[in-house]
Amino acid sequence: MTFVDTGAWIALSDRKDQNHGAALGVYGRLKQQRERLVTTDYVVDETITRFRYDLSHSAASQFIDLIEQVERTGVLNLIGIGGSLWQEAKAIFRQYDIVVLSFTDCTSFAVCQKHKISQVFAYDQHFAMMGLTLLS
């Protein structure tokens, strides 16, 4: 399984993103390997919000369509944050007071820990800092 973070979703979807070409390459390899993708409702929310403010409402809506399409194919597992994941994310957030982590990052780390995910499709170095392998 590979966790997909906001930066990867943006790079895949925005042709003007500096990482667009590299992201297409990573996604192509993951697709060829039939890798199962995992993301969270927090990451999807963060991505939709970035598209809405940085690009347009249309771009945000197209991203929603993409997530729904990939989820329907069974390739993507969209995990909702609640219960024990919420508790673990709070604990991670409180533990790392020196490093500036977003709460969304903490929810992502909690999911990776719970599901034993070691590789992340991301452009955020915080994942490497947490001992995860970056695919970017």
What is the tens place of the pLDDT at every residue in 84-96? 999 999 999 999 8
β-strand partners of 77: 38
Q: Name the residue range of residue 34's domain.
A: 2-134
CB within 8 Å of 64: residues ≥ 6 apart: 48
Local mean pLDDT, 10-residue blocks, the chain (136 residues): 97 94 95 95 98 95 95 95 97 87 95 97 91 90
Coil, helix or strand at residue 39: strand
> Given this model, what pLDDT does residue 100 score?
82
Q: What is the CATH number of the domain that holds 70?
A: 3.40.50.1010
Say how many domains are in the chain: 1
- Distance of alpha carbon 102 from alpha carbon 19, whole angstroms: 21
- Cα–Cα distance list, 115 to 4, 80, 91, 99, 107 (Å): 13, 13, 17, 24, 12
- Entry pTM: 0.93
> Given this model, what pLDDT does residue 90 score?
97
